[in-house]
Structure 1
Amino acid sequence: MDPYILRSPTLLLTTTDDTSHVTINNLVFMDDSTLISSSTAGLEHMLLITEEFYTLNNTSANHQKYVLISNSLPLTTTSATSPVEFNLELFPLNSISSLSVIPISISSSFRFLGVWFNIKGSRNFVKKQIADECNSFATTLHSVRLSAKQVVYLYNAMLIPKLEYRMQVTHLSEKDCYAATRLIHSLVKHKANFSCSLPNSILYLSQALGLINLFPYMIQCHVNNLFLIANSSTPFIQRLFVYRLRLIQFRFLIPISPLNVDDWSL
């Protein structure tokens, strides 16, 4: 099916063995499916399988909702792209001869299982999402008669898990996290009748209100996820983890494993 291959980068003249590469052709969760291929022919083959599956199970898919993401588009593409035509063979279980899908812009973000990705690696979309969530939370509760402790509880128990899910593949700077939660800090101080000039660090104290500081919390979550991936018993996750380590090693020209680097300062 011509799967997409993540090839481990190397500075050596000799190529790495195939066991260091990661091949993948699909990601499926419930009714959310993602087909991955390194060629149009590979996608056509998998699309044919899906159409036959729908016929066998007396179901159908909304082709208008199909989204195509391609890393072969120029990184400077800003204008509208032309539709990509997928030609499918006609079989007793397939009556669809072709599918036309418009690829999204290389600079656009796309969602998979509620998490947003960007091929260019831009964090702007997720950063705006986090800020909008926090601002909406603060605006909604500003006029509601709640105590400071109640606001902190709602923030820690309801909003923080949502932000954590959205940021699980995106790392924001401390400045970005502070800007996103600025109205939250003001709201808590207002509800507690504190001065606006009160340092935010006091709000974070467990002996005080125990408001979660978004930046260190995000770092802790990323470290926890890294630990879980590094100790995964799934062979695919293990190979993917090794691939990411080699990618970091290649991009930063590190002669040793990134796990053995103690000081990342330049």
Structure 2
Amino acid sequence: MHVDKSPAARSRNVLLTLFGVPSILFLMFLSARESYLHRPLPEEPMAKDAPGSINDVDRNGKLNASVTPIESNEIEHTELMDDAMCEWRSDILVGTCFGLRCGTKEAAAVKSAKECSSLCCGLEDKCITWQYREDIGCCIGPVVRLGFEGSKSPHWCEPTPPSPWEGGRKSSSEVLPNNASSTPGPDASSLSCAWGDQIKGQCFGLGPSRPYQTIDECREACCNDEDCSVWQYRQDKGCFYGKSNHCERYEGIAAQPYVGKRKPVDPNRVNREGWLN
């Protein structure tokens, strides 16, 4: 049997000998207090990352690792200021912007585009871009690009409002006899695929566009690829397919454009995380 002969143990034994039960209660209190003081603090819940109900992932389906200078405890009590006090670029951010943070502690109480703009204005260089839509709420963040603007920021916005896609998720596939094709297309298919409900909202993580020019070609290419579970096609975007566990809704308010603005900045001050040096 192991006997604790440490100085702390000897001290406890002396207390027990001299004071009995009261010393036991005192030691229990000290032990509980020390345990509480050294209990690790729970991690703060991750803020929603970007508009479009994508929660904790970015628009490529990966956890958002962008470093942000926004500290909730620092600006928790930021008062809304008149957004006319800030200078804004003339373009309206009607399409999905990638890299903004939505539903953060400081933006949770914002109920309108006007309030979102005012919040961003008051945050000075800690907010360069804002976007608002009723279902998403207020989203704030760093510098974003529209197209290939001269900025080092990795964040960008769709130049057009949300639009419906043609697409589907593969529910099953089976080999057809004699290499017969079940769907029209440029090549004979050796697989027959069943598809679930049509996916009208954009799916993320499908990779680069594919060299197929029609809906049927795109669908068949996905069917022939064992690693493909989702395909999408849009006339202005092209064909995409691969694997995705996140597709946006496209119904009701989710089919409506965003409202958003960004502050004019000196491109030479923008770092590779989208913030100002």
Q: Smaller-chain TM-score range? A: under 0.3
TM-score (norm 2): 0.23
Q: Indicate the structure (1 or 2) with the bigger Cα radius of gyration.
A: 2
**Structure number with higher strand proportion:** 2
Greater relative CO, 1 or 2 (CA 8 Å, sep 6+): 2
TM-score (norm 1): 0.24
**Structure number with higher helix proportion:** 1
